[in-house]
Amino acid sequence: MRQPLVAGNWKMNGSLASVRELLAGLKAGIDDVKVAEVAVCPPAVFIPEVQAQLEGTPIAWGGQDLSVHESGAYTGEIAGPMLTDFGCKYVIIGHSERRTYHGETDQLVAEKFTAARKAGLVPLFCIGETQEERESGITEEVVARQIDAVIEHCGVDMLGEGVIAYEPVWAIGTGLTATPEQAQEVHAFIRQRIAQSNAEVAEGLRILYGGSMKPGNAAELLANPDIDGGLIGGASLKAEDFLGICTAAND
Ligand code: PGA
């Protein structure tokens, strides 16, 4: 049985005051979350505060990115061991915003996957097609390429130590959500693709959906057999909305 995971991607949002308020709200409501594992990924500077507030609660935390290097002259970068030093369990890698605005390639993302595992972090590995790619009918080709890059670089066993987040780029922050049928279809394809390398890994791997997931559409998405949780952007910034998605996995 795959335990659902609902992870919040706060992106570049928040202040110390708003982070404290959000964490207080999450702690107050977390007991209502019966089934899902819950995690938050704040901007790096807030990680010590998140650790201080969440240590000893069931809520895990993680980074939004990491360097492929372990230390050294890489101004502005954050290394995996630094994240683990502050109690991070997860790290998001390959988010479409990093692929688009920071030129991250499939190869670099695969190297980040290895760097994360080397540091003992669980990668939340993001994949997904753009609107143009979907309209051209190459969604499966794109996600297969993104997955294959990690399998080739890290091996399928290491892929199985992470979590996949399928995030159609056209659904991120746009209010457009993939229909449960559209999402399930791609999730099933992803699992089947991985099964070609290792059926056991494919069966155990959690595949999250991301892209305008909200309390109002979470239950119907999570009801699908291959959707094992969500990676939540906008709706993770409000405790009530985020907890609403987390509790949608209760049934
Ligand atoms: P969204 O973002 O929920 O705001 O669409 C999801 C993500 O980018 O992880």
186 with 164: CB under 8 angstroms?
A: no
Whether residue 244 lies inside any domain: the answer is no
Distance between CA atoms of 143 and 193, rounded to whole angstroms? 9
Whether residue 104 lies inside any domain: the answer is yes
Region 96-115 average pLDDT = 98
Region 88-99 average pLDDT = 98
The set of catalytic residues is 95, 167
Whether residue 245 lies inside any domain: the answer is no
Region 75-90 average pLDDT = 98
What is the pLDDT, as a whole number, of residue 169? 95
From residue 38, give the alpha-carbon distance in Å to each of 89, 172, 231: 11, 20, 10
Pocket test for ligand 1, best of 5, 6, 9 (most atoms within 8 A of CB): 9
Whether residue 241 lies inside any domain: the answer is no
- What average pLDDT does the chain have? 97
Whether residue 82 lies inside any domain: the answer is yes
Whether residue 41 lies inside any domain: the answer is yes
Residue position matching structure tokens 């909305």: 241
Number of domains in the chain: 1
How far away, in angstroms, is 231 Cα from ligand 1 center?
7
Which CATH number characterizes residue 74's domain? 3.20.20.70
SS3 67: coil
Give the closest residue (by CA) to ligand 1 atom 2. 233
- Residue 152: pLDDT above 90? yes
Q: Is 128 in the pocket of ligand 1 (CB under 6 A)?
A: no
Distance between CA atoms of 6 and 215, rounded to whole angstroms? 12
Pocket test for ligand 1, best of 91, 95, 96, 167 (most atoms within 8 A of CB): 167
- Residue 143: pLDDT above 80? yes
Give the closest residue (by CA) to ligand 1 atom 1. 233
Whether residue 250 lies inside any domain: the answer is no
How far away, in angstroms, is 219 Cα from ligand 1 center?
17
Question: In the structure, what pLDDT confidence band is assigned to residue 131 with cuts at 50, 70 and 90?
Answer: very high
Domain that holds residue 191: 5-236
pTM higher than 0.85 for the full model?
A: yes
What is the pLDDT, as a whole number, of residue 251? 76
What is the pLDDT, as a whole number, of residue 138? 98
Q: Is 234 in the pocket of ligand 1 (CB under 6 A)?
A: yes
Query: In this predicted model, what pLDDT tens digit does every residue of 205-233 receive, in sequence order?
Result: 999 999 999 999 999 999 999 999 999 99
Whether residue 249 lies inside any domain: the answer is no
Distance between CA atoms of 169 and 127, rounded to whole angstroms? 9
Question: In the structure, what pLDDT confidence band is assigned to residue 1 with cuts at 50, 70 and 90?
Answer: confident
Question: In the structure, what pLDDT confidence band is assigned to residue 37 with cuts at 50, 70 and 90?
Answer: very high
